[in-house]
Structure 1
Amino acid sequence: MDFVETKRRSNVSRKLLLAAGITALFLFMLTKSPSTTASIKFSRHEPGVTHVLVTGGAGYIGSHAVLRLLKDSYRVTIVDNLSRGNMGAVKILQQLYPEPGRLQFIYADLGDASAVNRIFSQNAFDAVIHFAAVAYVGESTAEPLRYYHNITSNTLIIVKAMAAHGVKKLIYSSTCATYGEPEKMPITEDTPQVPINPYGKAKKMSEDIIFDLSKTSSDMAVMILRYFNVIGSDPEGRLGEAPRPELREQGRISGACFDAARGIIPGLKVRGTDYKTPDGTCVRDYIDVTDLIDAHVKALAHAKPGKVGIYNVGTGKGSSVKEFVEACKKATGVNIKVDYLSRRPGDYAEVYSDPSKIRSELNWTARYTNLEESLSIAWRWQKAHINGYNN
């Protein structure tokens, strides 16, 4: 009996040793796998590498920002719930930069405070660029509570997570809609903020939250960029604008022009022809997305602890909607049908920027200032992606 028992114990010991060996080998292989190596890189600060959290990085503007950051050797984490963003854009970015530790995508809703806190706990962020937001003026007047929740409440969750986890650099994507309808043009950073629609109001509330946080944190570095009407796309044709079909009515005028040129919609609807402008249509400052992203990268590089920088990002000149439509016709080569309708609630007559402050302090100047050229670049992407990123 003693011999049998001893033999049984010996077999059990060998099995335990074998199991332990297999487990150790598995763990060793796991730690050497690319995915684990990458996750370790994202979870640790690394000298010489800046890890940027880009909220809304699957969206039109956010994806272009991620592309530029990756090109400039930043480490990037995208957080997006894909309600307005596009996974197709993320896949293209992943294909362009497949190396471990360069880019990761996290599917999450910024309204979920526990999820946001977990993301900050598991990643070593050096900075946050906060793009994520619903962003249509007309929609905001129809669904104001949605806008206050998505923009203001979600921004509060983000900055609380930053404060809790010691992330001290924030670049905030704001808007000229916070100014409302100023009495004189051009708009400077000192122009009073009197927003007239829920979108602008929600963004201004978010700015106020960020201001107040910065007052309690002497080493917080903040840049707030108030930008104007965004157009264009990546000059190399890798990314573009592909809003969901149900949002076409709410989207940017450039998207509507392209849809009309492609025959997706029968024509273009221009809302408002009785404004106090030279031709009766709204006047806007159209900023190319490539220039806009360049401003964000410069803001990230110039952000200083204890400082809040506020900058208008625009070309400094206004173009009317009628002028925009004519440029779009030339860019697409299509004689787009135009229907002129009554004003859209929440719109304002004339808005264009004075970009002298960002030019003098960040050495930034818009380069893509020709409407037809910017629209031509975007049109090439549209023609090559008939179904958006689903091609």
Structure 2
Amino acid sequence: MVYTFQMLNIGRTRSQSRSNRSLPLGGMDYVDPKRKSSVGKILVAAALLAVFLLMMIKHSPTSSTSTHFSRREPGVTHVLVTGGAGYIGSHAALRLLKDSYRVTIVDNLSRGNLGAVRVLQGLFPEAGRLQFIYADLGDAKAVNKIFSENAFDAVMHFAAVAYVGESTLQPLRYYHNITSNTLVVLEAMAAHGVKTLIYSSTCATYGEPKKMPIVEETTQVPINPYGKAKKMAEDMILDFSKTTDMAVMILRYFNVIGSDPEGRLGEAPRPELREHGRISGACFDAARGIIPGLKVRGTDYNTTDGTCIRDYIDVTDLVDAHVKALQKAEPHKVGIYNVGTGKGRSVKEFVEACKKATGVEIKVEYLARRPGDYAEVYSDPTKIWLELNWTARYTDLQESLKMAWRWQKTHRNGYGPPGAIPS
């Protein structure tokens, strides 16, 4: 196997507070931030990481291989995928690689999984196809170094913390990680002449509109720090685009579910984030007995059954929208698109679909509302269909959950057991 592995800025940055640093061993961050580690455990972890890095260096290519990424080649589009070790980013990287793009993944592994990168490296081992750089986007010097050493044609910017509930508890972290880090990326793009940006945004920027479905012209009034930070990032991008010849695509997507249909990638969130994570992850954890049951927050919303209504978009459809956006991006133009199915499903409907997909009678506990949530959100995807020729194909909720459940059953420890070094 031939691949490039670089490490930049291993120390703490703005988006990695002292309380939540962990060593990414075996592609899975698992350290509980509330648990104090002894000096002995730290030394053991450091030793394991050192051994792992030596293994990576042993497999690293020669400098001539690295030049594939530092020069432009006719017919080859080199895409920087920030957050490419994460759930959505890794699926996007897989699609880009399948479509013969050259891919550089930059991730600090605070939410991503190195195991996902290893899967991609195994699928695309050829020189000049894929490289992974460990770095934090909050470090402007590290980001500038990455841009100076690589000839990027476009950036797909996924990297972000992305839990609504967590954002209400740690708002400053969200503004740093989403808004400030996007500014760093924009500055690096400007300094190094990278002209195409595909920005991963969210329906959370709309807040709780009075009228459904949501169209791109719907007024953006976000009601939680996650949505506010994303909107600020959008505003920066739009303001900057007015002064340049950049090609910009902003994709506001709805609730992401599913996994790679061929079972190569899936969602493996950090265990300590289960309380904040996606409902699909909680459903699967309950079905596997990792948690005693599913907690549904909020049953008194003004909806048909009292639970929240969401638009669930399959991750395969979502990354297809990103690739189509990249193909259609044009200088001096900005495209803003909702990415959803156009159909709202209640949380109770989702839970019933999950029970059928897993074959498990999941125990459900109904609790009070979660701070920052909104009652009803679903999209009108007409614009992206008309302009990018994109429409959701994986619209059977139960089938999408079945695909994700297959991956969960065969990857009970995510991409590897905690602490294990990938062979």
TM-score (norm 1): 0.91
Alpha-carbon separation, structure 1, partners of 2:328 and 2:311:
25
The one-letter amino acid of 2:176's match is H
Counting helix residues as a fraction of each chain, which structure ranks higher?
1
1:36 positional shift: 1.9
Q: Which residue of 2 aligns with 1:195?
A: 222
One-letter amino acid matched to 1:387: N
Compute the displacement of 1:37 (Å). 2.6
1:116 maps onto 2:116 in alignment:
no
Q: Percent identity over the alignment?
A: 84
Q: Is the 8 A contact 1:37 1:101 kept in 2?
A: no
Would the aligned equivalents of 1:37 and 1:100 in 2 still touch at CA under 8 Å?
Answer: no
Q: Helix, strand or coil for the counterpart of 2:223? A: coil
Q: Which amino acid aligns with 1:390?
A: G
SS of aligned partner of 2:173: helix
Number of the residue aligned with 1:355: 381
CA distance in 1: counterparts of 2:164 and 2:118, whole angstroms: 29
1:336 is the counterpart of 2:362: yes
Q: Which has the larger radius of gyration?
A: 1
Instruction: Kindly state the Cα deviation for residue 327 of structure 1 after the two structures are TM-superposed.
Output: 0.1
Structure 2 residue identity aligned to 1:92: V
Pick the aligned partner of 2:256 from 221, 230, 241: 230
Partner of 1:46: 73
In the alignment, the residues of structure 1 paired with residue 239 and residue 217 of structure 2 have an alpha-carbon distance, to the nearest angstrom, of 18
> 1:240 pairs with 245, 266, 269, which one?
266
Q: Does 1:315 align with 2:344?
A: no
Once the two structures are TM-superposed, the CA of residue 38 in structure 1 deviates from its matched residue by 2.2
Instruction: Could you list the structure 1 runs, at least 4 aligned residues long, displaced by more than 3 angstroms after superposition.
Output: none
Residue of 202, 205, 213 corresponding to 2:232: 205
SS at structure 2 position matched to 1:388: coil
Residue 132 (structure 2) pairs with residue 105 (structure 1): yes
Q: Structure 1 residue 138: deviation in Å?
A: 0.1
Q: Deviations over 1:319-347 (max 9, x none)?
A: 00000000000000000000000000000
2: CA distance, partners of 1:118 / 1:389: 30
- Aligned letter for 1:210? I
Aligned counterparts of 2:146 and 2:370: Cα–Cα separation in 1:
39
1:286 matched to 2:312? The reply is yes
SS of 1:171's partner is strand
SS of 1:368's equivalent? coil
TM-score, normalized by length of structure 2? 0.84
Q: Which residue of 2 aligns with 1:160?
A: 187
- Secondary structure in 1 aligned to 2:103? strand
2: CA distance, partners of 1:216 / 1:47: 28
Q: Residues of 2 paired with 1:159 and 1:297: CA distance?
A: 20
1:251 equivalent among 257, 262, 277:
277
Aligned counterpart for 1:186 among listed residues 210, 213, 230: 213
Q: Say whether residues 1:298 and 2:324 are aligned partners.
A: yes
5+ residue gaps, structure 2, are: 1-59, 418-423
Q: Does 1:146 align with 2:173?
A: yes
Q: Offset at 1:35?
A: 3.0
Deviations 1:351-379 (A, max 9, x none): 00000000000000000001100000000
Kept in 2: contact 1:35–1:100 (CA 8 A)? no
- Aligned ranges for residues 364-375 of structure 1 at < 5 Å? 364-375=390-401
The letter of the residue matching 2:147 is F
What residue number does 1:59 align with? Answer: 86
Give the letter for the 1:248 counterpart.
R
> How far did 1:34 drift?
4.2
Q: Give unmatched runs, 5+ long, in structure 1.
A: 1-32
Give the distance between the partners of 2:61 and 2:335, measured in 1 at CA.
Answer: 39
Counterpart-to-counterpart distance in 2, 1:124 and 1:203: 27
Q: Secondary structure of the residue that 1:41 maps to in structure 2?
A: helix
The answer to whether the aligner puts 1:381 opposite 2:381 as a matched pair is no
For the aligned residue pairs, the C-alpha RMSD in angstroms reads 0.7
The answer to whether structure 1 residue 273 and structure 2 residue 303 are counterparts is: no
Q: Any idea what SS the aligned residue of 2:415 has? A: helix
Counterpart secondary structure, 2:132: strand
- In the alignment, the residues of structure 1 paired with residue 87 and residue 99 of structure 2 have an alpha-carbon distance, to the nearest angstrom, of 19
How far apart, in 1, do the equivalents of 2:365 and 2:301 lie?
16
